[in-house]
Amino acid sequence: MRRARRYLAMATILHLSDLHFGSHLPKLVDAVVERAAIERPDLIVISGDLTQRAKTVEYEEAGHFLGRLRDNGHEVLAVPGNHDIPLYNVLRRFLSPLTRYKKYINEELCPFVELDGVSVLGLNTARSATFKDGSISHEQIRFIRDTFAGTDPDHVRILVTHHPLFALPVGDGELGAPVDHQQDALAAIAEAGIDVLLAGHNHRASNEASELVKGSGRALVIQAGTATSNRVRGENQSFNMLVVDGSGVTVTVESWADGHFERADRARFRRIGDHWQLGDEPVEAPADPADAPSPMVLRAPESPAKGKAATKEE
């Protein structure tokens, strides 16, 4: 029986996703750099889709953005998304899908970072054989187990992917597809004692405490919206700020409104034993991940609302 974990962490993480350089808005890029300089997070996480069509010029722009962050002293952990694999260049798509990513972003497709009390693993879920869906291989499942087996048992354990590990809403009545080998991956995540799952892909900000596989433990699922692109889906551009400490996680959605990023919503999650609670109230969990629960806590403002999403025309 696994002993009780103490969770001695204290770290701040800025969670970006779906930057889509090539369909980006420069003023939002500048605003993210400025906010990062103010917040001084311990780590900046980018959960995929740094480019729109994986073109060289887009990777150059994304690499320049990462350079600005690193020049300001920020540590960055990034993983590829499906848009970071060429779509129309079939030869490159299948023979060298992430060569440009490795050149301009990072040679490492599954990076690992340890902070004070926090262990963060990124995992590449993008595949050449699919246009938008993701996959976790059996080799990667073993890699998850092996990586976290070597970490301090009292660290908060975070897994970063581009694709959500199970179906979540992407629009009105529409659900995204879960990753391939979902059940095996979720079993490994529960076995590894992973506490938090960070992802993007759906361009919708949300988070939720969810049971991953029946009877196997729980993780806090946190989705980031698109931070800098014009590809919004009913919500303003946004990013997440996480404060991870010894008793839980505070998640803040920072949403674009009136020419700047501002706090749209905030929630505090407490770790009680093997479960997360929202504030002082238990968070209900589905019996089966296929039930695709609706995100219920944090949300960036809808685009038509006051403080509308940024567009190229502004």
Element containing residue 221 per DSSP (H, E)? strand 218-223
What is the arithmetic mean of pLDDT over 264-287? 70
Q: Tell me, what's the pLDDT at 216?
A: 33
**What pTM does this model have?**
0.84
For 103-127, how does the pLDDT look when each residue is reduced to its tens digit (9 = 90+)? 999 999 999 999 999 999 999 999 8
The SS3 call for residue 46 is strand
Contact yes or no for 177/135 (Cβ under 8 A): no
Q: Using CA atoms, how far apart are residues 50 and 43, in angstroms rounded to an integer?
A: 17
Domain 11-291 CATH class label: alpha beta
What type of residue sits at position 259?
A: G
Give residue 128's pLDDT band: very low, low, confident or very high (50, 70, 90): confident
**Average pLDDT value for the chain:** 82
Domain range list for the chain = 11-291
Query: 63: helix, coil or strand?
Result: helix
- Burial zone of 252 (CB within 10 Å; 0-12 exposed, 13-18 middle, 19+ buried): middle
Could you report the per-residue pLDDT of 171-208, keeping only the tens digit for each?
555 666 777 788 888 888 889 999 999 999 887 887 55
Q: Which helix (H) or strand (E) holds 113?
A: strand 112-115
pLDDT exceeding 70 applies to what percent of the chain?
77
Q: Which two tokens stand for residue 245?
A: 């400490």
